[in-house]
Structure 1
Amino acid sequence: MPRQWMVSHALSKLGAALSLMALLASGPALADELVIATASPAGVYHITGRALCSLVDIPCEARTSGGSAANLTALRDGEVPVALAQSDLQHYAVTGSAGFATVGPDPNLRAIAALHGEPFTLVVRRDSGITGFADLRSRSVNVGNPGSGQRGTMMTLLEAWGWSLRDFRPANELPADQQSLELCHGTIQAMVYTVGHPNPSIAQAVRLCDAILVEVGGEPVDRLVAGTPYLTRATIPAGLYGDDQPAVNTFGVRATLVTSAAVDEALIYRLVATLFDNLDTFKAFHPAYADLSPETMIREGLSAPLHEGALRYYRERGWIEDAAPAPETEAFSAPGADRGSSD
């Protein structure tokens, strides 16, 4: 057999093999590593980031941070490609309002999906005599570290009440992973946390120093929720922190997954596909995810436009029918849902 033919035949087989490998590995090219900015290790955000990282098929880091506002700033500055943020702070960032007024709107902020609900939670020492939000005046209250979501929601609520941080004696700025122990030590009489439940930090306060959860309501809260599309009524179910813990009525936001328009479409597409193709597996990571459904996840709490990578997946699933309107007007259809249903 001629040597030239053998070489040509071998090269032909090698070319076919490489073509087959390319076909089997077909799909969008991905970045070498995915970083998801989360928050305190004590909260559900960090669990969320770790859960997503465990599902994606590329190296992934769930990075701790100062919280929602810090994450949105890092995203804007190009320091991270994906982040978690409360729905209220997402709205502030995209509109350039509240804590983002000095830097202005972020035109590149893009939404990926909404995740679990985050009730605004007031936890107090049982011996403090605090039975409602109005009792916090002149008390020692932890309002959260600057840049955290709990701090952002607290400032919104204070504005609705006509209060400021000066109404507390004093207003503490502890991060979430320190506040429960300080409550037990008596350094503070109350702490607030905008978080999914059950939460280990709150469970620690209840277990170690007989803390209790208090309802957050009243006319200022009614007015705030009625006039704010990214806020909703919320109830913390009974029994999450002990048999004698009643259901607690409050209000809340949603955790949202966000990115930048500059982030590669293929990366976001693969992240979204991984999340929704493995949604039941994801929901098993924490009880706060129990009620997640595609319908709520692509509609609620999303003020920023959807990223093109996310839109591509949602269109392929038939969940979004139109070109690319704002999230509030997008049509949705899922099994058991009426096509084009609204909130």
Structure 2
Amino acid sequence: MSKRKIVSIVLSFCLVAAVISACGSKQGSSGNSTLKIGTNSVGSVYYTLAVGISELLLKHAEINSSVEAVGGSDANMFAMADNDIDLAVADSPSAYNAMNTIAPFKEKVDVSLVAVGQTSFRPIVVRKNSGIKSVEDLAGKKLIGIRPALFEFELITDNLLQTYGIDKSKVNIIKTVETNETVEALRTGTVDAAIFPVSLGNALLSELMRDNVVEFLPMEEAKVDQVISSLPKSLYKSVIPKGSFPNQDQDVTTFALATYFVADSSVPEEKIYQITKTFFDNNKEFVSFHNAAKEWTLERTTKSKPIIPFHPGTIKYLKETGNWSSELQSAQDALTTK
């Protein structure tokens, strides 16, 4: 084979490789590329919801998207900052901290709100044979109270122990990375208690409670109020109604936060308008993916006070459908003029 022929073949291979590389790179902000939706671990409620959103977008708007199991909500915000994802299902405190450069974020993440979803609770569950009947009983026990990807875990742990007058050094505080790890630790008895991130109907906690492995740790409402007063405004008090989980015969007052569907602000307005329109116009179909989807309503999105700005594409849809109010405009102005 001649040298000229060899050079020609090599150049052809290089050209093909360059094209493949370009096609494989993130181009989420372009009109025809695949958008990436970041979420929590596979099997989580957030992951299931993201899959539902992805299927709605493809079916009703011919928008291609992929669901990326990035990790916790903080991890999703970091991924958005690195241009690895375009959209995310995430906890509202992470989005708020990312936008306002609050630890663990050292640089602002330009994130915008698309929709408001279900309440995400942060109750404490305890093994039934642990002997823990009150918060005071946590002394001398092993508590999963830190998760790097969910900053609120450690804040709740620290303020809870302080409120109840428990010496932090008397509690063996364990750090875990994901919920599946927490489930395994509770089942095997390597820990006694855990802060458990759940939405109503969470399958992992439902199974634990159905098997009589764990129960909710009761807390006095006044004590919860006291802890909440020391936490960021993105966290609030809420109630898990009795019967929400197997063998739950009482309401549970606990800590909570909102779930957000967010977008990188650089994604074009028209693209987010199409996504918002598809999502809300087909909201009844979305409910078929998970029971928690019932809370992802237009009313909830427009009646909840936002803690990050709405994306211009979402605003366009809300105005078009007569759902953009003077109150929302005032909130948007306050958030965008900081």
Task: State whether TM-score is above 0.5.
Answer: yes
Contact kept? 2:147, 2:154, Cα under 8 Å:
no
Aligned to 1:194: 197
Aligned to 2:318: 314
Contact kept? 2:147, 2:153, Cα under 8 Å:
no
How many Å separate the matches in 1 of 2:333 and 2:296? Answer: 18
Deviation at 1:290, TM superposition (A): 2.8
AA at the equivalent of 1:156: L
Matches within 5 A, 1:74-89: 74-89=79-94
Aligned to 2:53: 52
SS in structure 1 at match of 2:85: coil
Deviation at 1:63, TM superposition (A): 1.4
Aligned to 2:119: 117
C-alpha offsets along residues 98-127 of structure 1, whole Å, 9 cap, x if unaligned? 322xx1433x22111211111112221011
- Per mean C-alpha deviation after superposition, the further-off stretch among 208-217 and 155-164 is 155-164
Deviation at 1:237, TM superposition (A): 2.2
Aligned to 1:336: none
Deviation at 1:174, TM superposition (A): 4.0
The 1:133–1:87 alpha-carbon spacing in structure 2 relative to 1, beyond 3 Å, is farther
Matches within 5 A, 1:59-138: 59-100=64-105, 103-106=106-109, 108-138=110-140
SS in structure 2 at match of 1:284: helix
How many Å separate the matches in 2 of 1:193 and 1:116? Answer: 16
Deviation at 1:283, TM superposition (A): 2.4
Deviation at 1:265, TM superposition (A): 1.8
How many Å separate the matches in 2 of 1:260 and 1:99? Answer: 19
Aligned to 1:304: 308
Identity %: 23
How many Å separate the matches in 2 of 1:154 and 1:139? Answer: 17
Aligned to 1:223: 226
Deviation at 1:211, TM superposition (A): 1.3
How many Å separate the matches in 2 of 1:164 and 1:326? Answer: 41
C-alpha offsets along residues 126-163 of structure 1, whole Å, 9 cap, x if unaligned? 1112234443344212235421x3xx221221343348
SS in structure 1 at match of 2:300: helix
SS in structure 2 at match of 1:194: coil
Contact kept? 2:224, 2:237, Cα under 8 Å:
no
The 1:96–1:177 alpha-carbon spacing in structure 2 relative to 1, beyond 3 Å, is same
The 1:31–1:265 alpha-carbon spacing in structure 2 relative to 1, beyond 3 Å, is farther
AA at the equivalent of 1:195: V
In structure 2, the gaps of 5 or more residues are: 1-29
Task: Provide the aligned C-alpha RMSD in A.
Answer: 2.7
How many Å separate the matches in 2 of 1:221 and 1:169? Answer: 22
How many Å separate the matches in 1 of 2:329 and 2:157? Answer: 36
Q: How many residues align?
A: 297
How many Å separate the matches in 2 of 1:36 and 1:75? Answer: 10
AA at the equivalent of 1:37: G
TM-score by length of 2: 0.78
Deviation at 1:183, TM superposition (A): 0.6
Aligned to 1:339: none
User: Which among 175, 179, 187 is matched to residue 176 of structure 1?
Assistant: 179
SS in structure 2 at match of 1:99: coil
Contact kept? 1:138, 1:170, Cα under 8 Å:
no
Deviation at 1:253, TM superposition (A): 0.3
In structure 1, the gaps of 5 or more residues are: 1-28, 331-343
SS in structure 1 at match of 2:71: coil
Q: Tell whether 2:207 aligns with 1:204.
A: yes
How many Å separate the matches in 1 of 2:153 and 2:70? Answer: 19
The 1:329–1:224 alpha-carbon spacing in structure 2 relative to 1, beyond 3 Å, is farther
AA at the equivalent of 1:54: E
